Structure 1
Amino acid sequence: MDASNPFDTSRTSSMKSLAPVLLCATALAISSAQAATPVVPTPLHTFTTQREDVTHLVFSPDGKTLASGGENCRLQFWDLKTGKQKRGLSRQIDSLYNIHYSPDGKLIATGTSQFVGVQLWDAQTGQLLRTLKEPYPASKGQHVFSFEFAPDGRSLFACSYPTVIQQWDIKSGKMLRAFKGVGKQYDFAISPNGKTLVSASPLHTGDDNHIDKTIGHVWDIKSGKVVRSVPGIGWPITFSPNGSQLFTRLVDNGNDSKWGQWSLPSGKLVRRSPQRLTANGGATPLAISPNGRLMATGHQNKTVLIADARTHKLLQLLPAGNAMILAVAFSPDGSILATSDWNSRIRLWRVKS
C-alpha cells in the first residue's frame, strides 16, 4: 500500500485473498476445540431428587438404569431411555451408604443404616434375597460403608469393621476370608482381574484426629497376605480398566488435595494432577471411563473436571450451576457421564466417541 495514497486498494485486495485461508484456520481452530472437549456441554437429562446429598451413582451393567442415593436421601432408580423414575426395591431405602450391581446385573448389593451387613437384592423383582453378616455379637451391630463384587461375581468383599475386610461367598452367604492385621482400613478396590486388593489406611501423626498421612496395602487375594505397602495411597481408590494404574486422592494440608496416579506393579507415584481439588466430606468423587482415556472428578470451582487420564491434562470443565459435585460415574459403554450436585440434581452428559 502506498502511504501517500489513502485510496490505494491493494491492501483490501490482499485481505480478500487471505479470506479463504482465515476461514479455514478458524474452522480448524473450532474443530480442534471441539475435539478437545470430549463431553457435550448440554445435559441429556436432568433428574431432581428429594434431598441434596446424592453421593452414589451406579449404572446397571446393561447401561439401561441408573441407581442414585446417599446417606440422607432415598435410593432411587432411573430409566435412562425415558428419563423417568422406575420401580425400585421391595423395601424403601432412606439412607444409603453404598450400592453395587453384580457383574451380571442380576443382583444389587446395598449397605444402609436400616440393616447390619450387606443386603443382596434380586435386581429384577426387587426382593431381598439374603444379608451378608456375622451373627451378633461378632458383627457388633455395625453397618457396612465399603464393599465391592469380585469381577467373577462369585464373591463380595466388604469392610465390615474399621480394621477388617471380609470376603463372602454369594451363593452360600458364608464368609471365606478376612483381610486384617494392618490397622484401620477406610477404603479398598479390587483389580479388574480379581487377583489383587488394594486398601487404604490413615496415619495420625498429631494429637488430634486429623489425617495428614495415608498408606496403601496391596494384598494377594488368593493368599490373603500383604505383598506391598505404599505410603501416600489415599481414598477413594479407583483402578484403571487394565488394572495397571491406580488413582487415589493424595492427602494434603488443609481441605485441598490432588489426585495421584500410581503404577501398581512398582507401587510408584507416576503422576499427580496439576489441579487442586476440594474434598467433599473427605472424599472427592472420581470416575475413569471404560476405555481408560478420560477421568472425571469434582473440582474446587464447583464444576466437573474432565481430564486426560493418562497425562492429567485438563480437557474440559462442565458447569455445575454453582453447586458442589458429589458423585460422578461413566456408563458401562462410556457414552454417558452421570453427575450429582448439592442442588439436588442428577445430570446425564453425552460423551463423544
Structure 2
Amino acid sequence: PDGKTLATGSNDKTVRLWDAMTGQRKKTLRRPTDGFRAVVYSPDGKTLATGNWDGTARLWSAYSGRHKAALRGHTAVVHSVVYSPDGKMIATASADDTVRLWNAKTGKHIATFSGHTRSISAIAYSPDGGTIASGGFTAGRGTSQLWDARTGAHKTTLSEHVRDVFAVAYSPDGKIIATGGRDGKLRLSNAQTWEHVTTLTGHTSFIYAVAFSPIARTLATASRDKTARLWDAQSGKHITTLTGHTSSVLSIAYAPDGTTLATASVDATVRLWDPQTGKHIATFPKFQGLVLSIAYSPDAETLATGISSANNHAVWLWDVSTGKHIATFSGHASVIRSIAYSHDGTKIATGSEDKTVRLWDAKTGTHLATFSGHTEGVTSVAFSPDRNMLASSSDDGTILLWKIR
C-alpha cells in the first residue's frame, strides 16, 4: 500500500517481492505444490494473501516471507483474493463455483456464497440493501437464490422455473421478486415469506429481462419472441404488448420518473415507449452492432447503451429528450452484457464477456477502475442502495462483491 514493493505470483510456484523503484528482487515465497494464481496485500501492508492452484488461500508475512496460515475449503483453484477495506475480512473466488469469506486475523471460514451449479445470469439488490437475489441454474432447474448481502449466508432457493433463470428484479417496495427465463414464464414471489404468488404467461420464448415501474404497480418484460409486455404486478393481468422490434428484445428499463420505457434489441435498435399507453415514441438511430444492455440515469435525462460489434465494444450515452448521441466510453475487449448507474448518477458500472467489471465517471467518461476475478463472462452488475458496494454475477457460477467507496 505504500507503493514501495511490488508482489507477483506465478505458475512457477513462487511469489516474488520486488523493489518498485529499482526493480531489484527482495524476497521469494514458496509453498503451494501447484503454483500461485492471485496475490494481494492487506490494507496495512503487513500481510500477503495468495490464491493458489491447489485450492487454498494462504497468508504470508510481507516482511519476512513466513507462511502464517492456509485457508482451506475450496475444491478447485482460487482465482481471486481480496481484502475488505478495513482488513478484517478476506473474500476468495474459486473455480468450484463458490465465493468464501474468511476472518483475516484467524483464518476462520465465515461464509460461502454457493448454490448455483451453472452460470448465474442475473443479480439484484433488495431496496434495503440487505439481500442479493441471483438467477441461474441449479440441480437441473432454473432457480433464484437469495443471499445475505453482508455475510454471504444463503437464505433460500426459489426453484420454480423449469429452465434457466435469465432475469430477476425486486419491486420498488421490496415486497415482490420477479423472475423470468428460458421457460418464457414470469414468476412473482413474496420477498418476505418466499412463497410463490402468481405466474404470468404470454411470451412464446425466453424472457431475457424484467423491470418494475418506479411509480405504478406494473412491470415490463423483454423476450426472445421480439416483443416486450406490460403487466399489472398486483393482479398479474396482461396490459399490452409492445411490438416493432424485428429480433430478440434483450434489455428493458423504465425511466426513473416512470414516464418512458426503453427496450434494446438484437435488431441493433433502442426504442422508447409510453408505458401508460404502450405507444411507440421514438427509435434511436440504428447501431453498427448489437445492443445488449441499457440503463437510465437516475434523473431520467440520459440513457446508457452497451453496443458491441466485431471491432468495438463501448458504452454510448444518449440525451433522452433529443435522441442525440452524447458520449462514448471504450475499453472493454468483448461484449458488454450489463450496465448500471449508481444511485446518485455519478458512476456507471459495466459487465463484459471479457470477464471484467469496469467503473466509469458518468459525467466525464473517465475510466475509474477495472475489477478482475471472474473466470467467465460477466452477466450482470448491480450497485448496493448505500452506494458502497457493487455486485457482479458471471457465467463462472459466482457472485463477487466489490467495495467501491
TM over 0.5: yes
- Aligned with 2:83: secondary structure? coil
> Relative to structure 1, is the Cα distance of residues 223 and 76 closer, same or farther in structure 2, using a 3 angstrom cutoff?
closer
Q: Is 1:179 matched with 2:242?
A: yes
**Counterparts of residues 87-126 of structure 1 (less than 5 Å):** 87-89=156-158, 91=160, 95-113=164-182, 116-126=184-194
**Counterparts of residues 231-246 of structure 1 (less than 5 Å):** 231-232=285-286, 234-246=291-303
Q: Which residue in the other structure is 2:117 paired with?
A: 51
Q: Which residue in the other structure is 2:331 paired with?
A: 275
- Looking at structure 2, the residues matched to 227 and 171 of structure 1 have their Cα atoms a distance apart, in angstroms, of 26
- Aligned with 1:236: secondary structure? strand
Q: Is 1:317 matched with 2:370?
A: yes
Q: Which residue in the other structure is 2:40 paired with?
A: none
Q: Which residue in the other structure is 2:399 paired with?
A: 346
Quick check: 1:286–1:296 contact (8 Å CA) kept in 2?
yes
Q: Is 1:226 matched with 2:280?
A: yes
**Counterparts of residues 65-80 of structure 1 (less than 5 Å):** 65-70=131-136, 74-80=143-149
Q: CA deviation at 1:149?
A: 1.1
| Higher normalized helix content (fraction of residues) | 1
Q: Which residue in the other structure is 2:252 paired with?
A: 188
1:260-284 CA distance string (max 9 Å, x none): 11111111111111324411xxx52
- Aligned with 1:340: secondary structure? strand
Q: CA deviation at 1:92?
A: 7.5
Q: Which residue in the other structure is 1:28 paired with?
A: none
1:29-80 CA distance string (max 9 Å, x none): xxxxxxxxxxxx6356543454352121111111100011225774211112
- Looking at structure 2, the residues matched to 177 and 300 of structure 1 have their Cα atoms a distance apart, in angstroms, of 33
Q: CA deviation at 1:119?
A: 0.9
Structure 1 residues without counterparts, runs of 5 or longer: 1-40, 204-213
Quick check: 2:294–2:305 contact (8 Å CA) kept in 1?
yes
Q: Which residue in the other structure is 1:294 paired with?
A: 347
- Looking at structure 1, the residues matched to 275 and 168 of structure 2 have their Cα atoms a distance apart, in angstroms, of 22
Q: Is 1:249 matched with 2:317?
A: no
Q: Is 1:133 matched with 2:201?
A: yes
- Looking at structure 2, the residues matched to 289 and 274 of structure 1 have their Cα atoms a distance apart, in angstroms, of 19
Q: CA deviation at 1:129?
A: 1.2
Q: Which amino acid aligns with 2:387?
A: G
Q: Which amino acid aligns with 2:324?
A: K
- Aligned with 2:207: secondary structure? coil
Q: Which amino acid aligns with 1:201?
A: S
Q: CA deviation at 1:217?
A: 1.6
- Aligned with 2:314: secondary structure? strand
Q: Is 1:85 matched with 2:85?
A: no
Quick check: 1:110–1:120 contact (8 Å CA) kept in 2?
yes
Q: Which residue in the other structure is 1:263 paired with?
A: 319
Q: CA deviation at 1:151?
A: 1.0
Alignment root-mean-square deviation, CA? 2.7
| Larger RCO: 1 or 2 (CA < 8 Å, sep 6+) | 1
**Counterparts of residues 123-162 of structure 1 (less than 5 Å):** 123-134=191-202, 140=204, 142-160=205-223, 162=225
More displaced stretch, 223-232 vs 104-113: 223-232
- Looking at structure 2, the residues matched to 93 and 336 of structure 1 have their Cα atoms a distance apart, in angstroms, of 32
- Looking at structure 2, the residues matched to 143 and 216 of structure 1 have their Cα atoms a distance apart, in angstroms, of 19
> Relative to structure 1, is the Cα distance of residues 298 and 148 closer, same or farther in structure 2, using a 3 angstrom cutoff?
closer
Q: Which residue in the other structure is 1:36 paired with?
A: none
Q: Which amino acid aligns with 2:165?
A: L
> Relative to structure 1, is the Cα distance of residues 132 and 269 closer, same or farther in structure 2, using a 3 angstrom cutoff?
same
Q: CA deviation at 1:189?
A: 1.5
- Looking at structure 1, the residues matched to 115 and 184 of structure 2 have their Cα atoms a distance apart, in angstroms, of 26
> Relative to structure 1, is the Cα distance of residues 96 and 155 closer, same or farther in structure 2, using a 3 angstrom cutoff?
same
Quick check: 1:52–1:341 contact (8 Å CA) kept in 2?
no
